[in-house]
Amino acid sequence: MNEQAAPMPEFALRLVKWQRQYGRHGLPWQTREPYLVWLSEIMLQQTQVATVLDYYPRFVATFPDVQALAAADEDEILGLWQGLGYYSRARNLHKAAKQVVTEFAGRFPRSRIELQTLCGVGRSTAAAIAAFCFDARETILDGNVKRVLCRLLVLDGDIANKKFEEKLWCTAEALLPQDAADMPAYIQGLMDLGATVCKRSKPVCCVCPMNDMCLARAQDRIAELPRKKTAVMVKNLSLYWLVLRNRDGAVFLHKRPAKGIWGGLWCVPCVDSLAALYELAAQFGLAAEDLNEGAEISHRLTHRHLFMVPFTAQAGGQPIESTAVAGEWVSPDNLAAYGIPKPLHDYLNAVQSSLF
């Protein structure tokens, strides 16, 4: 860190003015309604704006307020979330909605500290809600903001290091505008600046409102900062699906554990070895020769590359050891009501008419 680089008071004034003139406007979640802001902030975590623009209207149409979301069935929520990934976010949304209803009489708390008590709401998300909805002088610190700060003030350190992150929090707080009424435009400006101008690669420095005060630009260190995280090794994982239909054409699904891949979603029985697959099949009265092996399906998650091999068969009814593979037979017409992993959803749609 450059210890001589003191926070610049004109930063906030410039950013607010720039956002009001050139920033993003008209996004459906740019509102003072806490429920809608909270929902968008959770959806936007590790998800592109373009993707959220597709999901957000459907979600709000189904659950227009926190009371409706709190009263909803988890499977309905997961069904609408299908394809967004990081499904723990959807489960936490449901839990937090119930908290708002039971602990805060259906009204979102106004302070960052209280907002952080909601399930799945961290410091940055809580700050965004408080700033956008209640003009609270609270700063966010997502990946975009970290990048802006590191370049603006040549803050050089490991982004993943807690001590360095705390230094970034302190810097971000020191840059806040004095006028609370400027907070919505300021926070939106931070988001817009990092997302559209001070981008990770190919930043558009020529239109940046801070280009004359950016120390990384002056020192030709823009490409260097912030320091890149150490790449996390992507692990390959082989999985085997047991895709069963009964005589009525219904597919057998069971709900996966809350933790792990596709936590809380409905899925066909899924194991990580052929031996385990044959054991599962036996519980439906099926032998190995009753199974038809399909083409391998690949699906990339953040830190895993999945390779699924579907084995299809027709089963007569409930599994022999029902407690081992408890689940439900779901007719094709009702699949949309179940939260199903996207690769399975795509697979079932593709082979719907040709499975058996």
The pLDDT of residue 6 is: 47
- Spatial CB neighbours of 241, under 8 Å, sequence gap ≥ 6: 267, 268, 269, 270, 308, 309, 310, 311, 344
Q: How far is residue 202's CA from residue 210's CA, in Å, rounded to a whole number?
A: 16
Please say if the pLDDT value at position 182 is more than 60.
yes
Q: Is residue 114 within 8 Å of residue 125, measured between CB atoms?
A: no
Coil, helix or strand at residue 151: helix
The pLDDT of residue 198 is: 98
Q: Is residue 249 within 8 Å of residue 331, measured between CB atoms?
A: yes
| Nearest Cα to Cα of residue 320 among 286, 290, 278, 354 | 286
Please say if the pLDDT value at position 317 is more than 80.
no
Please write the tens of the pLDDT for every residue from 105-128: 999 999 999 999 999 999 999 999
Q: Is residue 12 within 8 Å of residue 176, measured between CB atoms?
A: yes
The domain segmentation of the chain, as residue ranges, is: 10-218, 235-351
Q: Is residue 88 within 8 Å of residue 95, measured between CB atoms?
A: no
Tell me what the mean pLDDT of segment 30-38 comes to. 98
Coil, helix or strand at residue 267: strand
**Could you tell me which CATH class the domain 235-351 is placed in?**
alpha beta
Please write the tens of the pLDDT for every residue from 199-210: 999 999 999 999
- % of the chain at pLDDT higher than 90: 78
Please say if the pLDDT value at position 323 is more than 60.
no
CA 130, 99, 260, 242: dihedral to nearest 10 degrees? -120
Q: Is residue 199 within 8 Å of residue 223, measured between CB atoms?
A: no
Q: Is residue 294 within 8 Å of residue 310, measured between CB atoms?
A: yes
Average pLDDT of the chain?
Answer: 91
Higher pLDDT, 339 or 62: 62
pTM of this structure? 0.86
What does the angle CA 307 – CA 313 – CA 317 come to, to the nearest 5 degrees? 125
Q: How far is residue 345's CA from residue 349's CA, in Å, rounded to a whole number?
A: 6
Please say if the pLDDT value at position 16 is more than 50.
yes
- Spatial CB neighbours of 335, under 8 Å, sequence gap ≥ 6: 251, 345, 348
Q: Is residue 309 within 8 Å of residue 240, measured between CB atoms?
A: yes
Q: What DSSP letter does each residue of 189-235 carry, written as one string?
A: HHHHIIIIIS-SSS--GGG-TTTTT-HHHHTT-TTT-SPPPPPPPPE
The pLDDT of residue 353 is: 55
Bridge partner list, 53: none
Any catalytic annotation for residue 41?
A: yes
CATH number of 10-218: 1.10.340.30
The pLDDT of residue 355 is: 47
The pLDDT of residue 113 is: 98
**Catalytic annotation, pick one of 41, 165, 173, 279:** 41
Please say if the pLDDT value at position 301 is more than 80.
yes
Please write the tens of the pLDDT for every residue from 156-166: 999 989 999 99
Please say if the pLDDT value at position 246 is more than 80.
yes
The pLDDT of residue 248 is: 86
CA atoms within 13 A on the CB side of 18: 22
Lowest mean pLDDT among 225-239, 257-271, 295-309: 225-239
Please say if the pLDDT value at position 2 is more than 60.
no
Q: How confident is the model at residue 1 (pLDDT cuts 50, 70, 90)?
A: very low
Phi, psi of 313 (to 5 degrees): -165, 165
Q: Is residue 11 within 8 Å of residue 210, measured between CB atoms?
A: yes
Tell me what the mean pLDDT of segment 79-104 comes to. 95
